[in-house]
Structure 1
Amino acid sequence: MQRRGQTESQRQGKQIVNGRSNELIYVIAGKDESLVGAKCQGLVDKLLEPSQRTTGLLDAEAGSLSASDVLDELRTAPFLTDKRVVLVRNADDFVSKNRPLLENYFDKPCPTGRLILVTRTWDARTKLAKKLPKVGKLVKVAQPSRRELPQRLIAYAKDAYDKKLGLPTATLLIELTGDELTRLYSEIDKLALFADAEKVITQRHVESLIGHNRLFNAFAVIEAVVAGNPGQAVERLRGMFAKDKSTEYTVVGAFAFHFRRMFNAKVLLKKGVQRREIENRLRIWGNTDGFFAQLRPMSLKQIGEYHQQLAETDYAIKTGRAKATVAMEQLVLQMATD
């Protein structure tokens, strides 16, 4: 299936380049390598056609270049293209070591050169940073907040595949996959292929392609937890990590989704809502008998505590204080032995 709209890199490039003639230097600053990489690719796509890159692009790590290499390349007359693009990756130390030379170049950049510096940080207080707006542009790259993610996914599905992605479906995808934007884009790529000729990516598509295996595996671990069998719970959890490398990023989402659904189902049961209606409302599919069997011995307080412990584990993983495999095993053991 071919993408009908813009690729993500093209969208990124369009956002960066606005056609100003004085944009001869770009600084792309950010700590998320995947998002920064998409910005770089988007900018290169905008500046050069693929056929021009053999003679018009130097793309290299800063550690392999000297300042004179970069400046000479920028000042060399372009061949078979109207500009020469020099992309310097991981340029933090390069900038620090060559600040005077770069300041001079920023004062008088070559009109046929385009310099792209990729850094993790960019100190706005420096003389170099203050010169940049006159000759180029700073592009700050940051992971969008969780609240912004659904709209980003909706826009991506439309731009890349001309498919509609509703807010509930985008939210479900985030719950199951996590909040890493590039991984979410990858899941939409798969969903667009799965949906084929259908114009709308639905919750049914997400559940069938992404949710089924992840939720089934989480269900199996929680089943062992509820049965008070910590050995089996850990064994099943390890199986999740062994079968799918992406589990490191999606495991918390799968467990959180399952716990939320258990909590909501328990609330509805206490209100006297019939089981079939609960299944329809909460979109419980697959082994529904097993789901309600899990739910029966658990109290709302217990489910809430599990969810709180999972949130604490998620925070420890995201802040680098714990590895996903170790933290989740500790959590499962704690829940199974309580």
Structure 2
Amino acid sequence: MGRWVKKSHSVADQVRRGEVASVYCLYGEEEYRREQELNQLLDALLMEGVRELNLDQIRPGETGTGSILGSARTLPFLASRRVVLVRGIEELSREQQEELLAYLNDPCPTSCLVLTARRLDLRTRLAAALQKKGVLLRFDRLETDSLKESLTAAARERGVRLRSEAVSLLIALVGDDFRQLIYNVEKLALFVGEREEIGAKDVEALVGETRVRSIFQLTDAVSSKSLDVALRCLTSLLESGEEPLAVIGMLGRQIRLLVRAKALREQSIPVSRMTHELNLPPRVTAALAEQSASRSWRELSGALQSLSETDLAIKTGRAAAPVLLTGLVWDLCRA
């Protein structure tokens, strides 16, 4: 029988205890934590000395990739098991899906299949088979409170204390992309040195005053559908060396805030209470409530889809990041 694993439990620990499933599927939009868990799982499944000989990696759509079934049916070499890692199973062709389904009905006892995906439709035959035969691990984007707790803990692990106003400002500036946030926490820990405490002024100093203004101007322009202003802010950020994925994170957080503000507004929640719910200053909350009224649910859904598609396109190098981001800003402002 398949099973879900609670977030408090580690599949790597279970593997080390000898509890090895025939297939693991790690999915969800929170890439940083998903990759962390994946690396821990691979370390537990294969010792370092035999990994190169017993780990096959398959990426759907890439030329030269081997057969999932063929790799999984290959016997391990000088090890107790073989691991087949398939990244991005949402990109599997119909033929590859059928091949995978056939394998799940009769898995090889000396092989372990590890799958990853950004999205997994649990209504499909493949998802049903994975739920029945293997272990599913889901990694959703963290909510604001969980983000703050995780970042505070990450700073503590690096020997520094992250003040509450600093973590709030960091999320406001960087967005809710966990990888980018952790990267900035690491930079801040080095920045403060022996002082061992990170305040809001440290965050401002690290990212730079010009960047702070450009970020707020960009997200505000997108929220208010001011295309010309948004494109100018985007150009300024990219020319100053801003990471494209960081821009995606900022814009993604802003659209999700608009979604939450619209939902609260439709429940007739007053701005004073929305301020508490969104954990934002009153002026910012009031602006979000007003901006959300000009967007339909269909438009907001389309904006989230555009963000996801652009994020994937940048990570897979389908086109130049500035071109993709310009198209995204155009879509978000015209939605």
TM over 0.5: yes
Tell me the equivalent position of 1:157.
155
Instruction: Give, in whole Å, the separation in 1 of the partners of 2:329 and 2:68.
Output: 47
Offset from partner CA, 1:78-97 (integer Å, 9 cap, x none): 22433221111222353742
Indicate the residue corresponding to 1:17 in structure 2.
12
Which residue number in structure 1 is paired with residue 135 of structure 2?
A: 137
Tell me the alpha carbon deviations over residues 302-328 of structure 1, each in whole angstroms, 9 at most, x when there is no partner: 996599559979x69656389866898
1:248 and 2:247 correspond = yes
Give 2:92's aligned residue.
94
Distance 1:66 1:327 in 2: 32
| Residues 111-190 of structure 1 mapped to structure 2, 5 A cutoff | 111-126=109-124, 128-133=126-131, 135-159=133-157, 161-190=158-187
CA-to-partner distance for each residue in 1:153-195, whole Å, 9 max, x for gaps? 2233334x24433433221210121122221122112112223
Structure 1 residue 115 displacement after superposition: 0.6
Check 1:234–1:93 CA distance in 2 against 1; reply closer, same or farther (3 A cut). Answer: closer
CA contact (8 A) 2:188 2:206 kept: yes
Over aligned residues, Cα RMSD in angstroms? 4.9
| 2-structure distance, mates of 1:123, 1:235 | 38
Question: Structure 1 residues 219, 150: closer, same or farther in 2, change over 3 A?
Answer: closer
Q: Distance in 2 between matches of 1:195 and 1:135?
A: 49
- How far apart are 1:70 and its partner, in Å? 2.4
Normalising to structure 1: TM-score of the pair? Answer: 0.59
Quickly say closer, same or farther: Cα 1:86–1:210, change in 2 above 3 A: same
Segments of structure 2 that go 5 or more residues without pairing to the other structure are 1-6, 219-227, 255-281, 311-323
Please name the residue that 1:43 is paired with.
41
Q: Is the 8 A contact 1:67 1:98 kept in 2?
A: no
Contact 1:32 / 1:143 at 8 angstroms: preserved in 2? Answer: yes
Q: Secondary structure at the match of 1:81?
A: coil
- C-alpha distance in structure 2 between counterparts of 1:303 and 1:67, whole Å: 49
Is contact 2:204-2:212 (8 Å) kept? no
Which of 1 and 2 has greater Rg? 1
How many percent of aligned residue pairs carry the same amino acid? 27
The one-character-per-residue Cα deviations of 1:14-42 (angstroms, maximum 9, x if unpaired) are 73434152422111223565665454344
- Deviation track 1:99-147 (CA, whole Å, cap 9, x = no partner) reads 5543443244223311112234434345554443564211223212234
Q: Which of 73, 94, 106 pairs up with 2:104?
A: 106
CA–CA distance in structure 1, aligned partners of residues 51 and 100 of structure 2: 24
Q: Does 1:57 align with 2:43?
A: no
The 3-state SS of whatever aligns with 1:106 is helix
Query: Relative to 1, partners in 2 of residues 1:131 and 1:306: Cα closer, same or farther, differing over 3 Å?
Result: closer
Task: Say whether the 8 Å CA contact 1:13–1:41 is kept in structure 2.
Answer: no
**Residue type matched to 1:194 in 2?**
F
Q: Tell me the distance in 2 between the aligned counterparts of 1:45 and 1:328.
A: 40
**Partner of 1:289 in structure 2?**
none
The alpha-carbon deviation at position 72 of structure 1 amounts to 3.1
Does structure 2 conserve the Cα–Cα contact (< 8 Å) formed by 1:35 and 1:143?
no
Give the direction of change, closer, same or farther, for the CA distance of 1:236–1:136 in structure 2 (3 Å limit). closer
Cα distance between partner residues in 2 of 1:163 and 1:126: 46
In the alignment of these two chains, the number of paired residues is 269
| Partners of 1:106 and 1:302 in 2: CA distance | 51
Equivalent position SS for 1:58: strand
1:228-274 per-residue CA deviation (whole Å, 9 max, x = no partner) reads xxx99986774344213337347779x9xxxxxxxxxxxxxxxxxxx
Whether 2:212 is the aligned partner of 1:215: answer yes
Q: Distance in 2 between matches of 1:115 and 1:99?
A: 14
Structure 1 residues 27 and 304 mapped into 2: Cα distance closer, same or farther (>3 Å)? closer
Q: Distance in 1 between matches of 2:193 and 2:27?
A: 37
The equivalent position to 1:195 in structure 2, one of 192, 195, 199, is 192
| Aligned 8 A contact 1:85 1:116 in 2 | yes
Q: Scaled by the length of structure 2, what TM-score is found?
A: 0.59
Change (3 A) 1:100 1:307: closer
The change in CA–CA distance for 1:116 and 1:232 in structure 2 (over 3 A counts) is closer
Change (3 A) 1:317 1:232: closer
Cα deviation 1:255-303 (Å, max 9, x = unaligned): 9xxxxxxxxxxxxxxxxxxxxxxxxxxxxxxxxxxxxxxxxxxxx9999
Residue of structure 2 in register with 1:69 after alignment: 67
Partner of 1:279: none
User: Which residue in the other structure is 2:306 paired with?
Assistant: 320
User: What SS does the corresponding residue of 1:23 show, helix, strand or coil?
Assistant: coil
